Amino acid sequence: MHWKKAACRYYTIRGSESESFHLSPPPPGGKSIRLPMYSSCWVSIYLFPFFQISLIFQRCPSYIESQNFTRVSEFFLLGLSDDPELQPLLFGLFLSMYLVTILGNLLIILVVSSDCHLHTPMYFFLSNLSLADIGFTTTTIPKMMVDIQTHSRVIPYGGCVTQMSIVTLFGCLDSLLLTVMAYDRFVAICHPLHYSVIMNTRLCGLLVLVSFFISLLYCQLHSLMVSQLTFPMRVEIPHFFCDPSQLFNLACSDTSSNNVLIYFMGAILGGGPLIGILSSYIRIVSTTLRVSSTGVKYKAFSTCGSHLSVVCLFYGTALGVYLSSAVSHSPRKGAVASVMYTVVTPMLNPFIYSLRNGDMKRAMQKFLRRTA
């Protein structure tokens, strides 16, 4: 996506109901009308077939002082659908998924903490991942369900910034914890004799703390940039939570430098962990293939199966949301697609680790018999 500031008087809109703005003069036979003047007009340029340039336009009236934009007190979350008949269905669906997510991840935390055989680095990181998933879903889903029940889509400015910060915090923490878990599997398989020395209690705690503080700095960076933006008096966010990208798109102020910084940090904190995970598994595969015993190979790959499944689910859904948003250019469709990594992935993680891990299944059965 390329952002460019331009004087709005040089642009025209073709067609009465179109949301696409085309450069003047229009193509032969095209109907066009002159747009009114605006003081701050930021447009997103996309390349369409036949090399036509389409501009998505956001209006910020010139007669309102810039100080008034910074005093916006609330936003409006448009949610997933405007259809009143779908609201009860959406409420029941997200309530059930939220309860399954909370109970599943909470069960993993309780099982790991209660079983001494699971007091290992791998399950320590897993319990922290479950805690991050609980925080991730709790930040977004309850607010959406309250909006459906109360028929109110208003969220205060402070609440929106807080929600955006917490979502960014736990999303980044998920990515970093998955990288730490990949490193743990790398040490366990490639350096089994030194595993207990390398992955000691101090290092495990340090890795989790470093991951948390990096995520905290990243979310504070988002909050700082959003606090410096100016908005119209009425801001409608086409999402069910305060997505940072939507806030940057809806701002009236210059966001070009913010976009560059966000993409740069996203590449580091998103691409860096992914490169680390891939590097760990390349070393794991090369080490395992040199082993002659079939049983050892099976055990090595089975211990990595659950983590690899979660990694594919997390990054696969995030990449799918990004590609679908880039192709459709529809914020509402992007909101629907984002349900995959905000709700579905945290819900499925406990099932993946419990069904594909024999130690976890035995510990869960023992825990349930003891509490029954």
Distance CA 263, CA 266 (A): 5
Q: What's the pLDDT tens digit per position in 43-65?
A: 333 333 333 333 334 445 543 44
Q: Residue 21: helix, strand or coil by DSSP? A: strand
Q: Which residue, 153, 169, 173, is CA-closest to 161?
A: 169
Buried b (16+ CB within 10 A) or exposed e, 150-185: eeebebebeebbbbbbbbbbbbbbbbbbbbbbbbbb
Distance CA 280, CA 334 (A): 32
- Confirm if 99 and 346 have CB atoms less than 8 A apart: no
Distance CA 29, CA 332 (A): 32
Distance CA 336, CA 321 (A): 9
Distance CA 71, CA 185 (A): 50
Q: What's the pLDDT tens digit per position in 242-300?
A: 888 888 888 887 777 877 887 788 788 888 898 999 999 999 988 888 887 777 777 77
- What pLDDT does 331 receive? 67
- What pLDDT does 347 receive? 92
Q: Please compute the mean of the pLDDT values over residues 90-112 and round it to a whole number.
A: 94
- What pLDDT does 48 receive? 35
Peptide bond into 25 cis (omega under 30): yes
Question: What count of Cα atoms within 13 Å lies in the side-chain half-sphere of residue 152?
Answer: 7
Q: What's the pLDDT tens digit per position in 322-363?
A: 666 656 666 667 777 788 888 888 999 888 887 767 778 888
Question: At residue 199, what are phi and psi to the nearest 5 degrees?
Answer: -90, 60
The DSSP code for 28 is: T
Q: What is the DSSP string of 47-72?
A: EPGGG-EEEEE----TTS-HHHHHT-
């590609």: which residue's tokens?
A: 323
**Beta-carbon neighbour count of residue 328 at 10 Å?**
12
Q: Residue 343: helix, strand or coil by DSSP? A: helix
Task: List alpha helices for the chain, DSSP H.
Answer: 66-70, 87-114, 121-150, 157-190, 195-198, 201-227, 244-250, 256-266, 272-289, 294-328, 331-339, 345-355, 358-371
Q: Is the pLDDT at 237 greater than 90, yes or no?
A: no
- Confirm if 67 and 44 have CB atoms less than 8 A apart: no
Pairing relation of β-strands 74-77 and 42-47? unpaired
Which two structure tokens, joined as six digits, stand for 75?
């936003």
Which two structure tokens, joined as six digits, stand for 58?
């956001």
- Confirm if 279 and 325 have CB atoms less than 8 A apart: no
Q: Higher model confidence: residue 38 or residue 183?
A: 183
Question: What's this model's pTM, rounded to 2 decimal places?
Answer: 0.78
**Beta-carbon neighbour count of residue 3 at 10 Å?**
17
pLDDT category of residue 1 using cuts at 50, 70 and 90:
very low
- What pLDDT does 204 receive? 95
